[in-house]
Structure 1
Amino acid sequence: MKIQQLQMLDALADTGSLQGAADQLHRTQAAVSMALKKLEEQAGFPLFDRSGYRLVLTPRGEQFLRQAREVLRQQQRLQSLTQQLQTGAEPQLRVSYDHTCSPSLLFNAMRQVQESFPATELLLSGESQLKSLRAIREGEADLALCPWLPVFRQHGDFETRLVRPFELFVVMSPRLAERFGGVPTHRSELLEMPMLMPQDQDVGINMDRMMRMPGQQRIRVNDSIAQRELLLADMGWGIIPGDLVGDALARGDLVRIEIPGFINQVHLEIHLVRSAERIAGPAASLIWRTFDG
């Protein structure tokens, strides 16, 4: 069976006559009639009832037409995909982000990719520690969003673009604060409360050294997303990247704890990273340019 035969069947059903199908497809009526007879022979059963003045689809013919139209839709999608691929756009763009960074920082650029390269599939993966950088180095990701230190260049030949500063907030839920008599104003008040800490994130931050807090009840989790959920569940207070809790702070689901001199200042930035050894495709380059200055 050929696509042209299915197109003729669809045109006949759409126009209701051989001449109408022929006009629509810019073919002769004889060519359409011959092609449809050949299609019936290949199908092995009658597609049309020819007992009347006009060709009418049989019940089997109706069922066949439904599937034929689905094949034609898929063929049109394949044509569209082929045209997109001819421009050199990536069939799939793999973007990795560190769990300490909010993927929403990429959403505007991803929307532009959807508009400019609709055939490119976007694959967004969250990672912990330095796995995002390792994915770039090993060719398992095209772009990565992660906290950045110059020392990370020892892990691979990277190019980076600044996205924004990496901020850490000390927060807790208002319900937890109420249980302990209000939002703490002195570090000693925190000793009575459970603390939520991410396990070592391998991004150049030693939480124990940064806070200089004596031993207390702690819950350690392996990523900042889980830490945020525990904070929202009133399980303790914690230090967490600001991008991950900005919406919760705006809604009042979390409150900031501001104690002067409580933590050592952290000077990190969030960067977009790619390999300097590979040529980026158009979709990856579009996202890259979004963060140009």
Structure 2
Amino acid sequence: MINLEYLHAFVTAAEKGSFSAAGRHIGKSQSTVSVSVSNLETDLGVQLFDRAGKYPVMTPEGEHLYQQAKVLMRQADRIEHYTTSVRDKVENSIAIGLDPLVPFAFVETALEKLAQKYPFTQVQIFKEKSESLFAALNDNRVDFVLNLTSQGIPEYFEFACFKEVEWVCVCSPDCDLADLKVVENEMLTTERQIICSSMYEHGVLGPITTLSQSIWLAHDQDDMIRMVEQGIGWAFLPKIMLEERVALGSLVQFQPAFVKTSQSYGLDLLWKSNTSSGPVAEYFRELLFRN
């Protein structure tokens, strides 16, 4: 049976280039690391380091075993993390419902940190309209719903606003609207507007932002952006989704007369009332309100 402590000393010495550096890294003395590696060599019956010079140099056999040892150490770490998760009652999976009007950028950092802290919990992302997500939350098919503030949140859900999203008007650089300091409402009603079905049907956002008499319906906000870049029409979109394209010059932000100040709408996090949450769900909720 391979001793994992010996194996750890070997891998660390191989990566740090000396027994003393390995000892400093893992908090052991140089002699402890040297003895661990020697014991591993004895157990395996293979010389892993040539010690003739000032610093130990891996033998060809050591080079070969080093690659396998790294894999074995990763597997050992996975087993340790998994058993810790079981003891701490960490969820095997969580499901998050994402309204199509919620820019994914607002959850990217939270998901990245979640993956680092709970690497063995599977995360499922569902993108559907609010009504479908509310039904999924009520049926316990999702743990959370991220939703653009609306008027119809069921009373049996808990919710809190975790972010304000600024929305702006954009067009292509070749559009007639691009050169105007302020675009009057009358002009916006005659120019073609690009909108997605989720916006068009939204109880709060739809009536406020649907201005033109000529509308093209896109599948989602990403398609809206592409259509605006092609010069097909103008659109009202979350600023966070447009900043890179505006900086590159493929989109132009313009000031409409109907917006006197910045136009912002809240993003709500919803969860089911009287439902206990595990550590992963609690951490995800904490991350959203922290950022």
8 Å CA contact 2:118, 2:280 repeated in 1: no
Q: Corresponding residue for 2:256?
A: 258
Unaligned segments of structure 1, at least 5 residues: 38-46, 49-58
Q: 1:162 offset after TM fit, Å?
A: 0.9
The one-character-per-residue Cα deviations of 1:118-161 (angstroms, maximum 9, x if unpaired) are 4354636361322443443333333232113352216xx32211
8 Å CA contact 1:22, 1:32 repeated in 2: no
Q: Corresponding residue for 1:119?
A: 119
Does the alignment pair 1:160 with 2:162?
Answer: no
CA distance, structure 2, for counterparts of residue 186 and residue 112 of structure 1: 44
CA distance, structure 2, for counterparts of residue 279 and residue 108 of structure 1: 24
Q: Corresponding residue for 2:137?
A: 136
8 Å CA contact 1:196, 1:227 repeated in 2: yes
Relative to structure 1, is the Cα distance of residues 80 and 260 closer, same or farther in structure 2, using a 3 angstrom cutoff?
Answer: closer
Q: Corresponding residue for 1:24?
A: 36
Alignment of 1:20-59 (within 5 A): 23-24=35-36
Identity percentage of aligned residues: 15
Q: Corresponding residue for 2:50?
A: none
Q: 1:168 offset after TM fit, Å?
A: 4.1
Q: Corresponding residue for 1:283?
A: 280
The one-character-per-residue Cα deviations of 1:35-87 (angstroms, maximum 9, x if unpaired) are 658xxxxxxxxx89xxxxxxxxxx99986775465234312332133224433
Does the alignment pair 1:171 with 2:170?
Answer: yes
Q: Aligned Cα RMSD in Å?
A: 4.6
Alignment of 1:42-121 (within 5 A): 66-67=67-68, 69-110=70-111, 112-114=113-115, 117-121=117-121
8 Å CA contact 1:137, 1:275 repeated in 2: yes
Relative to structure 1, is the Cα distance of residues 174 and 76 closer, same or farther in structure 2, using a 3 angstrom cutoff?
Answer: same
Q: Corresponding residue for 2:234?
A: 237
Q: 1:22 offset after TM fit, Å?
A: 10
8 Å CA contact 2:185, 2:256 repeated in 1: no
CA distance, structure 1, for counterparts of residue 76 and residue 188 of structure 2: 64
AA matched with 1:129? K
Q: Secondary structure at the match of 2:129?
A: coil
The one-character-per-residue Cα deviations of 1:237-271 (angstroms, maximum 9, x if unpaired) are 12223443355456653212412379xxx995310
AA matched with 1:255? Q
Q: Secondary structure at the match of 2:119?
A: coil
The one-character-per-residue Cα deviations of 1:12-45 (angstroms, maximum 9, x if unpaired) are x989xxxx999428x9x7x996x658xxxxxxxx
